[in-house]
Amino acid sequence: MSELAVERKTKKPRLNWSKKTKRSILGVSMVLPSFLLLLVLVIYPVALSVMESFKSRDGMWTLDNYLYLFTEPHMLNNIKHTLQVTVLSSVFVLTIAYSIAVYLRFNHSWIAKMVGKLYFIPMFIPGVIAIYGFINFYRDNGWIARLIGEGNLPSIIYDMKGLLMINIWFNIPFTTMLLVSAMSSIPNAVIESAKDAGAKKRHLFFQFIFPLTYKTMLVALTFLFMGIVGSFTAPFLIDRNAPQMLGVAMQQHFSSYNEIGQASSMAVFLFLLCSFVGYFYIRSNMKDSTKSY
C-alpha cells in the first residue's frame, strides 16, 4: 500500500456542515453571552424572589405574604398610592413632552431653538442633587416660601404634589427626546400635501401626526410606567410617610422589619405590573410586524 493511501486512511473525516447550520451556531454563540447575563442579573433574581414570596420566616411554604399584601389596609393604600402616582406622573409627563415635541417640530423660532437645547439639562443632573435642590426650593422655609412669605406656600414637600413635580422633572427629557425623534421622521411632504388639500390643524394632528407617532408614544409610556412604579430615591426623600410607594415599603420590610417574604411578594407584584404593561407594548409591535408581512 502506498504512503498516500495510508495517509488518507489515517486522516479523520471532516464534518460537512451546511451554511445554515454554521449560521445557526454562529447566531447562538453571539446570543449566548447576553442570555447568560440576562440569566444571572434578571431571571435568577426574579425566580429567587418568587420562591421567597411563598415562604414564611421559618422557611415553610405559605400564601400569607400575598394575603398580607392584598388584605392589610395600609398595604392596599400603598398599592393605591403607587398606582395613582404612577398613572398621574405618566399622563403629565407624556402630555408635556408630546406638546414640547410638537412645538419643536413645527416651530423654528429662536425660542424653539432655545427650548430644544435646554430640555436636556435635567438628564445631566444627578438625581440626589436634584432632589436636594428641590427640597431646599419648595420646603416650608425654603427659597419660594421666603419670597412669597411663610405660610402662603401650599404643602409640597412630603406630599404627593412634590413627588409628581419631581417625577415630571426627571422624566420629561428622555420622553421628549423619543417623541422629538418620532416627530422628525414625519416627512414634510406629508404635512404640506395635507395642508394643500385643505386639512385643518385638528385633522393634521389626528389623521397624520398622531398615527405616525403613537408607537413611539407607546414606547415612552412603557418606559415611564416601569421607571416610576418601582422608583425609590424620590419617594423616599420627598413623599409622605403613609401611604408609601411600594419601592419604599419594600425596602422597609426588607431591611427594617426583616420580612423578606413580604418584601419579595411586593417585588413580584411590581414585576407583574411591569410585565402587564410590557405585554401590551410587545403585542402592539407584533401586530404591526404581522401587518407588514
pLDDT digits (tens, 9 = 90+) for 183-209: 888 888 877 787 777 777 787 888 888
pLDDT band at 13; cut points 50, 70, 90: low
Quick one: pLDDT at residue 216?
Answer: 87
E runs forming strands in 13-154: none
What does residue 198 show for φ and ψ, rounded to 5 degrees?
Answer: 95, 15
Task: Report the pLDDT averaged over residues 257-268.
Answer: 90
Quick one: pLDDT at residue 16?
Answer: 59
Average pLDDT, the chain: 84
**Which residue's entry shows cell 412645538?**
103
**Which residue's entry shows cell 423619543?**
178
pLDDT for residue 43 is more than 90:
no
pLDDT band at 164; cut points 50, 70, 90: very high
Domains of the chain listed by start with CATH number: 17-53 (no CATH), 64-292 (1.10.3720.10)
pLDDT digits (tens, 9 = 90+) for 56-103: 888 889 999 999 999 999 999 999 999 999 999 999 999 999 999 999
**What is the value of pTM for the model shown?**
0.82
The identity of residue 177, as a single letter, is M
* H/E run at residue 2: none
Peptide bond into 187 cis (omega under 30): no
Q: What percent of the chain has pLDDT over 70?
A: 90
Distance CA 146, CA 140 (A): 9
Q: 141 versus 66: which is more confidently predicted?
A: 66
For 77, residues 6+ apart whose C-beta sits below 8 A from its C-beta are 242, 243
Per the document, the length of the chain is 293
pLDDT for residue 7 is more than 70:
no
pLDDT digits (tens, 9 = 90+) for 120-140: 888 888 888 999 988 888 887
CA 160, 162, 163, 168 torsion-angle sign: positive
Quick one: pLDDT at residue 225?
Answer: 92
Range ranked top by mean pLDDT from 14-18, 63-67, 216-220: 63-67
| Cα radius of gyration rounded to whole Å, the chain | 27
Quick one: pLDDT at residue 10?
Answer: 53
SS3 105: helix
Distance CA 226, CA 249 (A): 17
Peptide bond into 45 cis (omega under 30): no
Buried residues in 168-177 as b, exposed as e (16+ CB within 10 A) = bbbbbbbbbb
pLDDT for residue 104 is more than 60:
yes
* H/E run at residue 137: helix 127-138
Q: 3 versus 33: which is more confidently predicted?
A: 33
Q: Is 138 exposed, middle or buried (0-12, 13-18, 19+ CB in 10 A)?
A: buried
